[in-house]
């Protein structure tokens, strides 16, 4: 049964994400996760409400300026970015990915490689 009072917001959300400032932030984030822009837009539309999307560029800029400053691995992974600034991943899921990356570094994997692998894992979690 169709629920008539619920609007389909996908088109409106898409318009928000394609404005100049939002587009820059979306491209940066998609590049960080090694994903295409269009699939990443779809993830954003499905996981965040309209106001998160409207403020996406502001939240991203705020994270760039002051988020995940203490640990380079957290910064590379966007730990706070994807759990607090743009809450798209459960903190427990992020902690698991982070713990795996840290264990990998301790086992001798170069930090950049471990971070890249962890970002790939994060992209898998985000995909619908």
Partner 1 sequence: MKRVVDVSIPLGPVHPCWKEPARVKCETRGEKVLSAEVELGYMKKGIERIMRGRPWQEVMFLAERVCGICSVIHNMVFIEGMEAVSGITVPDRAAYLRVVMNELDRIQSHLLANFSYCYTIEHETLAMYLLNTRERAMDCMERIAGVRVNKAYMIPGGVRFDLRDTDRALLLADLAHLEDSVHRYGRMFDTGPLIATRSKGVGILMQEQARIARAVGPTARASGIAEDVRLTHPTYRKLAFTPIVRTEGDNHARIMLRFDEIFQSLGLIRQCLHDLPAGPIRGGGTCGAGETVSRGEAPRGELSYFIRSDEYGRILDIAIRTPSIPNIDACTHHMLPGVTSLADVTSVFVSADPCIACNER
To the nearest whole angstrom, how small is the minimum distance from the Cβ of residue 91 to partner 1?
14
Tell me how many residues contact partner 1 (CB under 8 A): 21
Binding string, residues 37-76; x marks residues near partner 1 by CB under 8 A? ------------xxxx-xx-xxx-xx---x----------
How many CA within 13 A on the CB side of residue 122?
A: 36
Q: Select the span of 2-10, 31-39, 104-112, 114-122 touching partner 1 (CB under 8 A).
A: 2-10
To the nearest whole angstrom, how small is the minimum distance from the Cβ of residue 107 to partner 1?
33
Q: Specify whether the CB–CB gap between 9 and 50 falls below 8 A.
A: yes
Q: Token digits for 65?
A: 């300026």
Q: Which residue has the tokens 């169709």?
A: 2
Q: Which of residues 90-109 bind partner 1 (CB under 8 A)?
A: none
Torsion of CA 112, 117, 119, 123, to 10 degrees: 160
Q: Select the span of 3-11, 28-36, 95-103, 111-119 touching partner 1 (CB under 8 A).
A: 3-11
Q: Specify whether the CB–CB gap between 21 and 57 falls below 8 A.
A: yes
* Contact flag: residue 19 with partner 1 (CB under 8 A): yes
């Amino acid at each position: 049964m169709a629920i008539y009072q619920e609007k389909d917001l996908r088109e409106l959300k898409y318009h928000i994400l394609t404005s100049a400032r939002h587009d820059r932030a979306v491209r940066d984030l998609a590049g960080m996760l090694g994903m295409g822009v269009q699939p990443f837009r779809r993830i954003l539309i499905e996981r965040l409400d309209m106001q998160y999307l409207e403020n996406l560029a502001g939240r991203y800029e705020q994270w760039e300026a002051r988020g995940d400053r203490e640990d380079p691995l957290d910064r590379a992974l966007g730990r706070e970015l994807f759990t607090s600034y743009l809450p798209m991943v459960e903190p427990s899921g992020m902690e698991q990915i982070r713990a795996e990356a840290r264990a990998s570094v301790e086992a001798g994997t170069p930090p950049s490689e471990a971070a890249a692998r962890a970002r790939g894992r994060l992209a898998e979690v985000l995909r619908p």
